[in-house]
Amino acid sequence: MLKLTNARQLRTLLVQINRKYSSKTDTAHYKVVVAGGGAGGCAVAARAVRALGQGNVAVIEPAKTHYYQPLWTLVGAGIKKVEQTARPMKDVLPKNCDHLAEKVAEFDPDRNTVTLGNGKKISYDYLVVALGIQIDLNKVEGLVDALNNDPLVGSIYLPDMASKTFTAMQNFKGGNAVFTFPNTPIKCAGAPQKIMYLADEFWRKHGVRDKAEINYFTSLGKMFGVDKYAATLREIVKRKDIHVNFRTSLKAVDHRKKTVTIEYLDSETGEEQTHKYDFLHVAPPMSAPDQLKNAPSKFVDSAGFLDVNQLNMQHSNYENVFGLGDCTNIPTAKTAAAVGAQNKILFNSLQSVMAGTSPNGQYDGYTACPLVTSYNKCVMAEFDFSCMPLETFPVNQAKERRSMYFFKKNVFPEIYWNLLVKGHWGGNKVFRKVLHLGMSK
């Protein structure tokens, strides 16, 4: 009897394999395909697998390692090791999904297919796009060479360079320290100044700060997009004696001459200036992934970001396509906190469409940016679509606090690994209401 049961199971399995991998079409088919194995991709895939079962969900992701990127700021300051932010991709993806360890090469939403880097086509009933944002190092002339060859140039936006950033901080003995913020979309928009504040404190502790000048070149017109927190940051840069250069952008780096070329964005004559550097931290330009920029025009907006409804994450033109996170044109800051709120709303929308009804999700734009200002303090910025504070705790979160640093360093990573990527975290809205006695949004 046992042998017969196993034989039946084997025949059933062979039928399923044959259905998915037809020799005529060389196309595998899934109920749900998730493009991207970052925070959003893992969270939605975990929810989908629990709802649909094994064999119905595939995640397309070539990376072998999954990183908790919000900690790279602390890696750059020597507080954490990059290894502490990393786990094998196979251990983070839901166990019962199919992992397609290839890059996405092409989207064809009119035919409900995705082509992989190896040429194989994957068809789907529903598609979730969660590809993240693309780092464009080559958009700054000389930046790649500088990162590879100058020991005093770093960037916390890449795992190996985050570690290098701390080494560069240790080796800096004085002179002009330059920090930049790009004139492009960016993930974790607070990170370029967070590492600057940590460097300032590190150099003060080691007797270097009085020999240094810190210059912050930012494309923005103010310190932060939310006025409440921007006011605090203005006082911090004043206290730390940091020179802020608004509406500027890094154009080129010459590591042999130890210079940066800065473009002045509001100049009618295209003014540029060259500045010497003795330490350089670069937040590189970023953009939509190339696979999206090369996709059909109805699939993306003019900048190449996936075109979705900002309230329910459903695609604007394809009802069976959904997207979340950094690769979309949802008008909120690109953070893991935003994905934490978006993933549950997206999955509810997906289930509604599967059931033949319209999505009714109401994402309010919630996002968060823990602005680390020292080795033990943090400003916990939380806000919505309109850049109005949407705070969890019943205290003034624009104030630097040790408690908020504890959440950033210790609590949020646990939420990420144990709840978010496993599809058990839908944001902190419930906690916010409880802590505000039901009087919060």
Which pLDDT band, with edges at 50, 70 and 90, does 19 fall under? Answer: very low
For strand 212-218 and strand 175-181, is the pairing parallel, antiparallel, or unpaired? parallel
Q: How far is residue 127's CA from residue 289's CA, in Å, rounded to a whole number? A: 17
Token pair of 119 as six digits: 């040429």
Which pLDDT band, with edges at 50, 70 and 90, does 121 fall under? Answer: very high
Q: Give the fold, CATH level 3, of 2-74+87-134+288-354.
A: FAD/NAD(P)-binding domain (3.50.50)
> Which residues form the catalytic set?
188, 369
Which pLDDT band, with edges at 50, 70 and 90, does 18 fall under? Answer: very low
Q: What's the pLDDT score for residue 432?
A: 85
Q: What's the pLDDT score for residue 377?
A: 98
What is the per-residue pLDDT across 352-375, written as a single tens digit (0 to 9) for each? 999 999 999 899 999 999 999 999
What is the per-residue pLDDT across 420-436, written as a single tens digit (0 to 9) for each? 999 999 998 887 888 87
Q: Would the CATH topology of 2-74+87-134+288-354 be identical to that of 135-286?
A: yes
Which pLDDT band, with edges at 50, 70 and 90, does 26 fall under? Answer: low
| pLDDT at 313 exceeding the cut of 90 | yes
| pLDDT at 61 exceeding the cut of 80 | yes
Identity of the amino acid at 298 = K
pTM over 0.75: yes
| pLDDT at 265 exceeding the cut of 70 | yes
| pLDDT at 325 exceeding the cut of 70 | yes
Long-range pairs for 327-332 at CB < 8 Å and ≥24 separation?
327/36, 327/129, 327/130, 327/131, 327/132, 327/133, 327/288, 327/289, 327/292, 328/129, 329/300, 329/301, 329/303, 329/305, 330/363, 330/365, 331/365, 331/385, 332/365, 332/366, 332/367, 332/384, 332/385
Q: What's the pLDDT score for residue 16?
A: 52
Superfamily (CATH H level) for 135-286: FAD/NAD(P)-binding domain (3.50.50.60)
Tell which wins on pLDDT, 221 or 9: 221
Domain ranges of the chain: 2-74+87-134+288-354, 135-286, 367-435
DSSP string over 356-379: TS---------EEEEEE-SSS-EE
| pLDDT at 393 exceeding the cut of 50 | yes
| pLDDT at 153 exceeding the cut of 70 | yes
Token pair of 45 as six digits: 């895939």
Q: How far is residue 114's CA from residue 154's CA, in Å, rounded to a whole number? A: 36
| pLDDT at 441 exceeding the cut of 80 | no
Which pLDDT band, with edges at 50, 70 and 90, does 1 fall under? Answer: very low
Token pair of 191 as six digits: 């990170």
| pLDDT at 24 exceeding the cut of 50 | no
Q: How far is residue 146's CA from residue 154's CA, in Å, rounded to a whole number? A: 9
Q: What's the pLDDT score for residue 215?
A: 98
Q: How far is residue 162's CA from residue 141's CA, in Å, rounded to a whole number? A: 20
What mean pLDDT is predicted for residues 115-120?
A: 97
Mean pLDDT rounded to a whole number for the chain: 94
Nearest of 86, 191, 193 to residue 135 by alpha carbon: 191
Q: In what order do the strands lie in the sheet with 153-154?
A: 153-154, 279-281, 175-181, 212-218, 242-245
| pLDDT at 13 exceeding the cut of 70 | no
Token pair of 424 as six digits: 């058990």
